[in-house]
Amino acid sequence: MDLLSILRKRSKLLALIFTLIFILLGCRLYYIQFIQGDELIEGALRQRGKEILLSPKRGIIFDRNTTPLTNSQRVPTLIIQKDQLLEDKELFKEVQSHTILTLKEFRQRINSDDYLLSIPMEDSFKLDGEVNRAFLVDIVNRYDEDNLLAHVIGYINKADNRGQAGIEKVFDEYLNIEGQEAFVLEYDKSRRLILDGKYHVDKDFSPHNPAGVKLTIDKRVQEIVEEVLDEAGVKGAVIVADAKTSQILAMASRPNFDQDKVYSYFKDENMALYNKAIQVGYPPGSIFKIVVLLTALEKDPALIKDQYYCQGFEEINGIRINCTGHHGNLSLEEGFAKSCNSVFIQLAQDVGAKDIMEMARTLGFGQKVNIGLLEEDEGNLPKEDEIHGAAIGNIALGQGKIQVTPLQVTNLMLTIVNGGVSNPLQLVEGITNRDGLIIKEYQREKEARLLSNNSSLKAMDMLRQVVKEGTARYMDLDQLGGCGGKTGSAEGILKQREVIHGWFTGFFPARNPQYVVTVLVEEAFSGAQSAAPIFEEIIKELEYFR
């Protein structure tokens, strides 16, 4: 090959290389200008300004009606340079008197190293037109000031924007999104705000991308439950479920906590950060008599005697267990309505502790219900070597080593109401896009028959009798359709003290139930005095607003 041919080939190769370089440069310029342009502009603006987030970098949690449970409260916020606020004494006084911050929080913000301050204000605050280098904008808070549904929603770590508890933690990968609404405020060379230097940023969301979670919760029902609990001034928990679908409509725990100030509750002796509806096991007391009853009905109805006798106490292996009264001769139905300890100890002895424990496990006790929250406690049932001898007394009365959650008790009542069929409780409907449309449904477990229909019908009749003539006879719901349910007063230990925990779990109305409601009150007088009135008030409010 001669020299001329070699030069020609090299020239063609160089031409090809330069052509490829120009093509790549052209593609890169196109990408920078048309694909990455907005992002680069935002970056440039941020270098000579400050970004103010107008909405959280978190997806929305919706209720069953697609009503936002987060990202819904807009707070007017003053954006102002610190030096300007400190120099203008009149403005300083006005801002201090109209901010929703506490005096301590306001001082902390003033004394911070921030050059530009964001100060949340009252709705009535108006910015004087003569005030330069300041803006009043609406900023969306992650959580509302009333902290509705706080124990279910959970909270985030503000440092890394990651969920730390509740729905926020379980669905963090779907809720921790990049898109958000913001302002970028521009400075001049002297680090002073430019009045016309506001740039709005609103990153687009694809309608097919996960950006939220939809719950079965009904916000209005949740508000009713929390209002009733707060008016009662008690500690404990309430669950309201749809009797037909087993969807959870409300779940509340008290005391409540401020989701923006979680750190202040870490050492709270009242366990404010605990969701007591699912996270804490309590002795069920007489609620467990339902399990003893169902065991007898399922094992052999012939075990049930026509008459029982209550002398005011039972003695087992030298241990005396008192009843609440001296009831004399009474039927099982009467003993259940009056919550007679003697009747149910005698019945439990006839049925056997082993069978009662097996029935308890079948009905979901001693294991998680699994509604999708990581904090759920499985409760406790005594081991096989702990159910002999005098232990039958504790088993019959729901004491000793038996621990249950309000969620498990709600699950029990739903199974009875649905004719012995367990329709798994549901809290989460699915993953949504930004507008609340479900793009991925949350799978539920299948239904399963746990009890015969006859046993369930008999139990429902006896639960109605509790309200008609038993321990819950003071309820006033007859004109609304009546109800059925069971009271429970359980001896427990709280803060190293012996206390009584009050229970009521029931259904409404008495025929063709629509709701199942479970109430637990810590440090109660009794289930009848402390928990049943809360059930009654919730039902009345639900019917009033229906």
**What residue ranges define each of the domains in the chain, with the CATH number in brackets?**
45-214 (3.90.1310.10), 219-263+274-282+353-381+391-544 (3.40.710.10)
Mean pLDDT of all residues in 89-98: 91
For helices 453-469 and 289-299, give the axis angle rounded to 10 degrees: 140
Nearest by Cα to 535 from 506, 509, 493: 506
Comparing 410 with 37, the larger pLDDT belongs to 410
Share of the chain above pLDDT 70, in %: 88
User: What is the pLDDT at residue 54?
Assistant: 75
CB contact at 8 A, 110 and 117: yes
CB contact at 8 A, 151 and 375: no
User: What is the pLDDT at residue 72?
Assistant: 86
Q: Torsions phi, psi of 73, nearest 5?
A: -100, 115
Question: Token pair of 57, please?
Answer: 């970098």
CB contact at 8 A, 323 and 337: no
Tens of pLDDT, residue by residue over 208-238, are 677 899 999 999 999 999 999 999 999 999 9
User: How many other CB atoms sit within 10 Å of the CB of residue 83?
Assistant: 12
Measured distance between the N- and C-terminal CA atoms of the chain, rounded to whole angstroms? 96
d(CA 106, CA 113): 14
Comparing 194 with 11, the larger pLDDT belongs to 11
pLDDT at residue 28 above 90? no
pLDDT at residue 479 above 80? yes
- Give counts: helices (H), strands (E), the chain: 17, 23
d(CA 281, CA 67): 32
Question: CA-based angle 403:407:413, to the nearest 5?
Answer: 100
pLDDT at residue 333 above 80? yes
Comparing 160 with 246, the larger pLDDT belongs to 246
d(CA 94, CA 124): 12
Mean pLDDT of the chain: 90
Residue with tokens 């409907």: 429
Tens of pLDDT, residue by residue over 236-249, are 999 999 999 999 99
User: How many other CB atoms sit within 10 Å of the CB of residue 288?
Assistant: 29
Kindly report whether the peptide bond that precedes residue 283 is cis, defined as omega within 30 degrees of 0. no
User: What is the pLDDT at residue 81?
Assistant: 85
What one-letter code names the amino acid at 427? L
Q: Is 398 left (phi over 0), alpha (psi -120 to 50) or beta?
A: left
User: What is the pLDDT at residue 445?
Assistant: 87
Indicate the pLDDT class of residue 166, thresholds 50, 70 and 90: very high
Indicate the pLDDT class of residue 545, thresholds 50, 70 and 90: confident
User: What is the pLDDT at residue 128?
Assistant: 74
Residue with tokens 């637990």: 520
Tens of pLDDT, residue by residue over 261-293, are 999 999 999 999 999 999 999 999 999 999 999
Residues in the chain: 546
User: What is the pLDDT at residue 372?
Assistant: 94
